[in-house]
Amino acid sequence: MITCILIFMSLTISQAPALPVVEHDRLEVVLPVEFQQLLHKANASGRMKIFLNSTRSQNRADPADGPFFQDPQPIYSVAVQSLKPGQSVVIDFNAVAYPLPLDELNGEFEVQAVFDHHHSERAHHSPGNLFSKPVTIHFDRAARDTKVIELTESVPEIALPVIDNVVWIDEISPMLTMALGRPTKQRAAVLLPHGYNDLAFPRRVWPTIYVIPGFGGRFRDIESYMRMLRAPMTGAVPQAVWVILDPESPLGHHGFADSQLNGPRASALVQEFIPQLQERFRLIRDPAARLLTGHSSGAWSALWLQLNYSNSFGGCWASSPDPVDFSAFQKSNLYLDESVFTDAQGNAQGSYRMPIGDVDEKILMSVQQEVGMERALDPDGGSGEQWDSWAACFSPPGIRQDLPLRAFDPLTGKINHNVIEKYWSRYDILRLVTKNWKQLAPVFATKVHLLVGARDSFYLERAVANLQKKIAALQEADLRAGIAPLKGDGFIEVLPGATHDTAAVIARGRFALSMREYLKKQGFSE
């Protein structure tokens, strides 16, 4: 009886129809054996990232130059435990994806792979990371294809060319190294003015202008400042030593603020780096002869330094700063809103816009799209892009000691108000001003020069307008209390019609004249 049952079961199983094999689109990324010397075996674990750019897109850069704000493009990534030459890493429907799984992709794309396994620089741009040349691939959601991409290139080390009147600083910071537990550098380009190296020149010591680049900017971006200093007779450019600082960390723009993940960036600048520069170069040591300037994230940094180290700098000239009021963080109120992705009516919150005519505008990228791209690059929050960069500056470590605690869910946008109130609010400049108005009132009257476009591409004018109103209200309260406001050349101004980019152009000219006039009044000019 038992034998008969077994025979019947065997026949039943053998005669059952075979299940169909489900096939999926896939990309296979391989490091060819002949290029294995590009891989540092000690760092064979990391993340494989795939960047795409539609051949119909207006984006003209290589795919790996993304994410693209004006026309967001697909991104995929997977964790790699150990990359071995000749063995493929598969990217398929299981990959972390933006905006849709690989199976659903349709159309022709330029595709580029990056193996991110070095983290000395921001995101996937670190020297030593491997990447492929762009290849054109046609995806058809009705077909199931496998395409192979080869890693044949490596991100080169930072090159610092020899340039007349430019001194590169690229040195280990003892303060940052001790705080972070790893070798960490202070970097800058020091641009020497006309006459600095001329022994017959009547001037021997110089004021200093510290420039903080915006998001993605580096200390190597010096061309525009070199052009200014090559024309000393125009009268429009302050003749000073210009120091282009480096605002980047492995987790993004560190904002020159002291934080747990990025280290004591502000303290290291003021207490360590500036004294070192003063020892090495002929700089006027009076703090009044030290000026700060920056745009966008660099503007937020300059303002933050001026307000927190008001006696260390003579003034800041900042344009279009990152949100200075977290109740107007782009279009979100981080203290009250439920989500950063949508407003109270469920409409998508824009992150990047383009004005059309005098009134209308087009949202080119929503917050949800921006965060989606960042999550596709690194689902744990280490993409080094804008929102992850803010988190690295404002949050403590999260589930990993090297990555920030999230302030909102990257899938739903739901805000964690406890994280915002407990940690992020410490970096809210409007709250800082309100709390310390007595000390900061004279700083705004005499040292803060702030511009923003009324149609800022990232909605940054909203926070600046709130700060402007708050300061006016605090000054009015002082008047009612019999306290006369201090008079000075400080200002906060919203430029009608200006965008993020056009405000930068306007600010560059106005700030140069304003800084030159300030130095002249203080007796520091040529």
Shared-domain flag, residues 366 and 469: no
Structural domain includes residue 12? no
Q: What pLDDT sits at residue 8?
A: 33
Q: What pLDDT sits at residue 43?
A: 67
Q: Looking at 127, 154, 181, which one is the last position of a domain?
A: 154
Structural domain includes residue 11? no
Shared-domain flag, residues 309 and 173: yes
225 in Cβ contact with 242 (< 8 Å) = yes
Structural domain includes residue 159? no
CATH number of the domain where residue 143 is located: 2.60.40
Shared-domain flag, residues 170 and 139: no
Shared-domain flag, residues 349 and 437: no
Structural domain includes residue 360? yes
**Structural domain total, the chain:** 3
List C-alpha distances in Å: 51 to 61, 146, 428: 11, 17, 34
Shared-domain flag, residues 314 and 351: no
Q: What pLDDT sits at residue 71?
A: 96
CATH number of the domain where residue 477 is located: 3.40.50.1820
Q: What pLDDT sits at residue 226?
A: 86
Closest CA to 187 of 60, 113, 276: 276
| E strand spans, 22-72 | 26-30, 46-54
Shared-domain flag, residues 366 and 407: yes
Q: Looking at 426, 449, 466, which one is the last position of a domain?
A: 426
Shared-domain flag, residues 435 and 404: no
Q: What is the pTM of this model?
A: 0.93
Q: How far apart are CA 452 and CA 363, in angstroms?
A: 19
513 phi and psi angles, rounded to 5 deg: -65, -40
Shared-domain flag, residues 130 and 274: no
Structural domain includes residue 343? yes
Closest CA to 519 of 478, 475, 489: 489
Structural domain includes residue 161? no
Here the tokens at position 42 are 């000690």
Shared-domain flag, residues 291 and 303: yes
Shared-domain flag, residues 234 and 369: no
Return the ∠ at Cα 97 (arms to 95 and 103), rounded to 5°.
75
Q: Which residue in the block uniquely carries the two structure tokens 């290029």?
A: 35
Structural domain includes residue 93? yes
Q: What pLDDT sits at residue 199?
A: 87
Q: Computed over its alpha carbons, how large is the radius of gyration of the chain? A: 27
Shared-domain flag, residues 180 and 139: no
- Encode the chain (526 residues) as per-residue pLDDT tens digits: 333 333 333 333 344 444 344 467 899 999 999 999 999 766 689 999 999 999 999 999 999 999 999 999 999 999 999 999 999 999 999 999 999 999 999 999 999 999 999 888 888 888 999 999 999 999 998 888 899 999 999 999 889 999 999 999 999 999 999 999 999 999 999 999 988 998 888 889 999 999 999 999 999 999 988 888 776 545 678 999 999 999 999 999 999 999 999 999 999 999 999 999 999 999 999 999 999 999 999 999 999 999 999 999 999 999 999 999 999 999 999 999 999 999 999 999 999 999 998 889 999 999 999 999 999 999 999 999 999 999 999 999 998 999 999 999 999 999 999 999 999 999 999 999 999 999 999 999 999 999 999 999 999 999 999 999 999 999 999 999 999 989 999 999 999 999 999 999 999 999 999 999 999 999 997 6
Here the tokens at position 444 are 């705004």
List C-alpha distances in Å: 292 to 210, 238, 272, 508: 5, 13, 17, 13
Q: What pLDDT sits at residue 42?
A: 60
Q: How far apart are CA 256 and CA 249, in angstroms?
A: 10
Structural domain includes residue 444? yes
Q: Looking at 96, 124, 154, which one is the last position of a domain?
A: 154
* Structural domain containing residue 354: 333-426
Shared-domain flag, residues 450 and 485: yes
